[in-house]
Chains A and B, each alone.
Chain A
Amino acid sequence: MIAVLRSVYRRDPCLGLGYGLSSFIASVNVWTAASDEQCRTVAGLLLANRKIASVYHELDHGNDLARIECEARPVGDTWVLNGRKEVVTNLQRADALVIFARTDPKPGSRSHSQLFLDKSTVAPDRMRDLPRFPSTGMRGVQLGGVEFRDCAIPRDNVLGRPGHGIETALRSFQLTRTVLPAVMAGQVDTGLRTTVRHVLGRRLYGRPVAEVPYIRSVLVGAFVDLLTVECFTTVVARAIHLLPTETSVYASAVKHFGAKALMDAMNRLSMVLGAHFYLRRGGVAIFQKLLRDLQPVGFGHAARAACQTTILPQLPMLARRSWRTPEAAPDELFRLDADLPALPFDRLAVTAAGQDHLSGSLLAGLDAEGADHRAVSDLAERFAAELRVLADECAELPPGELGVAAGPRSADLATRYGLVLAASACLSVWRHNGDRDPFLGDPAWLLAALTRLSAQQRGEPADLPEHVERRLYAELMDRHEDVRGFDLTNRRVR
Chain B
Amino acid sequence: VITTVTILIPLLGAILMLLLPDDDRPARYAALGVAAVPLLLTIYIYFAFGDDLGVAALTQDITWIGSLNIGYRVGLDGLGFGMFFLSAFLTLIAIVASRDVKRNLKQYFAALFIAEVGMLGVFAAQDLILFYVFFEITLIPMYLLVGVWGDENRRPAAIKFFIFTFLGSTVMLAGFLAFGILANTYSMDALGGGGGLSRVAQIAVAAPILFGLLIKVPAVPLHGWLLDVYVSSPTSTNVLLSGVLPKLGTYGIIAVAIPLLPQGIEPFLPYLAIFGVINILYGSFVAFMQPDLKALVAYSSIGTLGFILLGAASGNAVGLNGAVFQQVSHGLYSALLFILVGVIAAKAGTRRIRELGGLAARMPWAGGLLALGALAAMGLPGLAVFVSEFMSIMGGYTTFPVQGVLASVGIVLSAMYLLYMLARVIFGPVERPAYEELQDADSVEMASVVPVAVLLVVLGIFPALLISVQRPAVDAVLALIGGS
Same complex origin of A and B: no
